[in-house]
Amino acid sequence: MNYKINELFETIQGEGSFTGQPSIFIRLQGCPVGCSWCDTKHTWDIELADQVSPEVMLNKTEETVQWANFSAEDVLALVKDKGFQAKHIVITGGEPCMVDLTPLCAALEQQGYSTQIETSGTFEIITTEKCWVTVSPKINMRGGYKVLASAMSRANEIKHPVATEQHIDELKALLAQHKVVNTPIYIQPISQKKRATELAIASCIANNWRLSVQVHKYIGIE
């Protein structure tokens, strides 16, 4: 099975439970959800005209729509060839759960890597048992997709971007609908602006949730 990869790089995880963890990010191409604040809109569309060789994709110096096909074995070979030291791998997008991630995660886990998926919760999550699933539920987005009960029940953590009280209300309704009780809840300001951050902090204190502040953006890394 081949995966359409837009980026593959080593950095520090800046969000959620693994904040500060050295990580290898695999960014897949394709997402129909349509979040207005998305900071990776270049990964939305899958166009055959944008397919390039793995070498061209890996040598990109800026964000582009270009993607390349990689098998799980190709990914493992590349990680070793690059000399990456991180043992945690984050599969994101785009919307990674548009495809079956089991072959990729299984191959990585067999080589001693831990795996994590970051998903909107609007597609069935098909992966290994060991994989850590971060659901960032996208509610009432332009694409019209619904957050799935199966995704909410599979989530190891829920990470919700907020800018307004409406976002908080939508999350509370979603948690009540799916009877989420013990899953860690992270609230993440959509921007680094004071108002959004203050709302996130107040909501965390009021509801015993946790704060995620996108550390990578504050320290200026990818």
Going by pLDDT thresholds of 50, 70 and 90, the confidence category of residue 54 is very high
Q: What is the mean pLDDT of residues 77-102?
A: 97
- Residue 14 in any domain: the answer is yes
Q: What angle do CA 80, 86, 91 make, to 5 degrees?
A: 90
- For the entire predicted model, the pTM comes to 0.95
- Residue 148 in any domain: the answer is yes
Structure tokens at 166: 């409406």
- What is the span of the domain harbouring residue 155? 2-159
Is residue 38 a known part of a binding site? yes
Structure tokens at 154: 């599979």
Residue with tokens 């019209």: 144
- Residue 202 in any domain: the answer is no
Is residue 193 a known part of a binding site? no
Is residue 39 a known part of a binding site? yes
pLDDT at 71: 97
- Residue 83 in any domain: the answer is yes
The tens digit of pLDDT for each residue in 155-203 reads 999 999 999 999 999 999 999 999 999 999 999 999 888 999 999 999 9
DSSP 66-109: -BEEEEHHHHHHHHHHHT----EEEEESS-GGGS--HHHHHHHH
Q: What is the CATH number of the domain that holds 116?
A: 3.20.20.70
Would you tell me how many other CB atoms lie within 10 Å of the CB of residue 197?
Answer: 17
Is residue 12 a known part of a binding site? yes
Is residue 19 a known part of a binding site? no
- Residue 79 in any domain: the answer is yes
Per-residue HEC secondary structure of the chain comes to CEEEEEEEEEEECCCHHHCCCEEEEEEECCCCCCCCCCCCHHHCCCCHHHECCHHHHHCCCCCCCCEEEEEHHHHHHHHHHHCCCCCEEEEECCCHHHCCCHHHHHHHHHCCCEEEEEECCCCCCCCCCCCEEEECCCCCCCCCCCCCHHHHHHCCEEEEEECCHHHHHHHHHHHHHCCCCCCCEEEEECCCCHHHHHHHHHHHHHHCCEECCCHHHHHCCC
Going by pLDDT thresholds of 50, 70 and 90, the confidence category of residue 220 is confident
Is residue 136 a known part of a binding site? yes
Is residue 35 a known part of a binding site? yes
Q: What is the mean pLDDT of residues 68-91?
A: 97
- Residue 29 in any domain: the answer is yes
Q: What is the mean pLDDT of residues 193-218?
A: 92
Is residue 31 a known part of a binding site? yes
pLDDT at 11: 96
- Residue 103 in any domain: the answer is yes
pLDDT at 151: 98
Average pLDDT, the chain: 96
Is residue 27 a known part of a binding site? yes
Residue 107 has pLDDT above 90, yes or no: yes
Task: Answer yes or no: are the C-beta atoms of 186 and 16 closer than 8 Å.
Answer: yes
User: Rounded to whole angstroms, how far apart are CA atoms 84 and 52?
Assistant: 23
Number of folded domains that form the chain: 1
